[in-house]
Each structure stands twice: as C-alpha cells, then as structure tokens.
Structure 1
C-alpha cells in the first residue's frame, strides 16, 4: 500500500497523477468520507487503482439524492435525470411505477422523492444491484425483485403499470471495450452490453410492454440519439405511440411510448 498524503494538496496531487480529472473535488470527498487516516489510505488506494469514485464512497449523487452504491454495480449517470424529469411530468399520486433494469433503483427513488404517493416496483438481474435498490427504495416503500426483465415481477401488475421506466443496456457489444476503464472494468457487463446493435434488451422490453402497461400508461426508455429512431419504430410496431425526447444539456435521449 502506498503511503497516503497527509494534506489535501498532496492528496490532490496523487489523484491528479492517477488521471482523476476533478482531483480537488475528489480529494475533499475522500477526506470527508474517511473514518481514520488508515481508512483514508484504503479509499485513496482504491481510487487511484481505478475504482469509480462512487463505488469508493459508497454513494452517488443523483437528481438531488444520495444513492447507495456498492462495488460491482452500475453507477447512475447524470443523463438519466431526463428520464426522471419526463416521468415526473406524467406521474400522478397513486400511480404504479415499474423501474425495470433498475440497477441501484436510482430512477425509482428519485421519482418517488419528486411525486408523492407512488407505488414503486423495481427489478434487476444483478444481486448486488438488487441489494442497493432495496436500500435506496426503502424510504418510498418500494418493492424490488431479482430476475430477468419482467420474469420476477408479480403477475398482478400486468395491465396495471402507469409508468414503465427503463434504463436497459444499450451499448453495442463491440463498443463495450472502448468504454472508460471505470465502466468496463468495474460495472457488470450485463448493465452495459446491449447486443450487436445495442438494442437487443430494449427490444425485449418494448415487445412485452403492452402486456404490462395500464390503459393510458407510458413506457420511458433511455437510449442514444442515433438509436432513438429505431427504438421509436419498435414502439410503433408494438402498438405504442412513440415520441423522441432529447436534452442536449444532459446529452440525454429517451423514447416515450404511450399505450392507448
């Protein structure tokens, strides 16, 4: 283990040398999180060897909330805030929400903190993600299920979901190895790899969505700008009315599919 710098300037220098772009901010966060000099040494060593800052700290800041994060889970991105904003514009108290491919449950938790009285459900394939989601959705009374897409979701929710929120993997398989090391080495491949064209998992979600949406319900699914037209076409093929929504400020794109 490398000796840990004893001052913030020294800590900042070490982080900057390791390639951390926001070294000053990270130094302050790590110093604040550390319970002792020994703990700080551990945190710094984890960070300089490439572990994402959020996994080192144990939390990520997302849409005004601290979201619990464990090593080996997908870290919520700022761009996904567009999904929350659009869902909040559609949500009504008492609405049934299903956060599919939920990861840490950040989307469902943020929406529940924005709109009162929601019934929130979430599902993910990864056990570590499910553990985090249960922590993050506990305050909202959310229920989290482990399994592949709709498979673990209670059958009683069929035709009863008002808002189906999805951040499924959409990186093409050949592009995963081109992602930053923090993602490709420390996040589960199942949360990144969307198949040959990036849309394999999303197409599965869309194909079954009409069976789960309530009349007048909405599917909101994150994607990339180039992929959005194909995803919108998939929604139309499934009988949903599609609309593409983009936010240049967040570099974010979602496709909204409305049920009749």
Structure 2
C-alpha cells in the first residue's frame, strides 16, 4: 500500500467497492493499493473494478499455488480449486518430466508445476492468442507455448513421450454458461468456459487423442465437476486409459487422473 495513502482514501475506496457489490471490499482495496504505483492508478483500477472487471484483470495478476501469475484482460483467470490438479500432477511426475498443458490459458498450471518440481520439459497450447501471449510471459525460460487447438500445434516428436498431460478443459454445459457470475460470463473468453451440451465435448477430444501422446505409464489429469465425474471417467476409459476420480472438499475440486497402461494399447487406439 502506498505510504502516502491517507486513511480517508482507504475508507473511500472500500466504500466504492462495497457499493459495487464486492463482498471482500477490504481485501480488494488492500490489493489495489499495494499494486498501484500512484493515486491516479488507484483511481483507474478502482473504476475498472467498479465497472465489473475481474479483480485479477484489474490487478494484472492472480495468486495461484503461491505464485503471482500475470493475467491480461480477456484471459481466463486461474481458479484456486485447480491447485488440486497441480498437486496431483506433482505427486505423479518424476524429475525432468515431459509435461504438456492443454488449454493452458495464462500458463498457471505449467508455471506452478515447474515451481514445485524444478526443471521439466514443458509444452503448453491454447487456441486464444491473448492467452498465448500471457502464458509466454508466465513460463518464459520454463517451457514453450504454442498457439492452436489442443494437440494440433505440438511437435510430433512428443508423441509417446508425454509423462504428464494437464488438460484444464472447459466443462461448463452450454446452457449453464449464462448462469455464471458476470465476471466470468462477460470478461473471460467463452471458449475457455463452454464445454458443449453436457460439458464434456472438449474432454472427449482430449481423451481420444491422449493415448497417442502419453508415454507408457504416463498420466492425463483433467478437472471436472463432481456431478460430471462419473461420465468423465467413462469417457476417458473408452480411450483405453485407466481413469479414477479424486476430489478435495477443501478446494471443492474434482480431478480425473488417467494412466496409459505400460503395455501397448489395443490396435486402433493409439494411431500412428
């Protein structure tokens, strides 16, 4: 918080945020004041927040797994619940693991996993140009980010080598997108939220291709909702992987962890 910020300015900021419907107005005010460099920037940030922009877009960063992740306007904001997926991946990854992060958004998952594990071979993809630019800032020196749809832009040399495949795919059913908070519905790209009629469209595409890219014994980790978990497990199992659902009550998170068997997959499953 700037040392020059007088108490009345802090109280006025809190009042403005509270009037705009910010439940944690005091906390948000503290973050704005600690991020802004001068009173003019405080005013500009407050105006954007009152107008409904997500706090992370206002600040320019989100806290995720103990890191400050740069988050630009129009980029999906990493959720705290997704830290559970990162923890599951860290428990399965070995030193120097080959990791692919699909639908990487800001690159938060790959950055967090690298921070936990040390040096890894990290490759990330996203279809949104704004997300790709943001991810490249967050994992500079840690990995490579490619613009394109799912596996499409990845080097073919990764096929059969991926030990950890992270896929935080969109899983909100199309009809439910309009029920999301305005911060997500209006200010985050729909492609990062909408998972199709039942929320599993993108998951199906990932599951169908994953066996080609995973190393024997490699793992696919996908976040889903608790009510979708059983169908997600069934979907992934049809690809020849061995899935299980795990959850965290603390973070209200559900992740499907699927493993490629050590033995070769049945003919037709892996492709060429």
TM-score by length of 1: 0.96
* Structure 1, gaps ≥5 residues long: none
Match for residue 33 of structure 2 among 24, 31, 49: 31
How far is 1:174 from its partner? 0.3
Distance 1:113 1:252 in 2: 21
The residue aligned with 2:239 is 238
Match for residue 137 of structure 2 among 132, 135, 138: 135
How far is 1:188 from its partner? 0.1
1:181-234 Cα distance to aligned partner (Å, 9 max, x none): 000000000000000000001110011000000011000000001111111111
Distance 1:139 1:247 in 2: 31
The residue aligned with 2:165 is 164
Distance 2:35 2:19 in 1: 21
SS at match of 1:74: coil
How far is 1:138 from its partner? 1.0
1:55-80 Cα distance to aligned partner (Å, 9 max, x none): 00000000000000000000000000
TM-score by length of 2: 0.92
The residue aligned with 1:113 is 115
SS at match of 1:177: helix
1:65-124 Cα distance to aligned partner (Å, 9 max, x none): 000000000000000001100000001111100000000010000000000221111000
Distance 1:157 1:8 in 2: 52
Q: Tell whether 2:64 aligns with 1:62.
A: yes
Over 2 Å off, 4+ runs: none
1:1-260 correspondence runs (5 A): 7-140=9-142, 142-260=143-261
Range moving further from structure 2, 229-238 or 106-115: 229-238
Distance 1:252 1:32 in 2: 30
How far is 1:129 from its partner? 0.5
Note the aligned Cα RMSD (angstroms). Answer: 1.0
How far is 1:6 from its partner? 5.6
Question: Cα distance 1:147–1:6, how it changes in 2: closer, same or farther (>3 A)?
Answer: farther
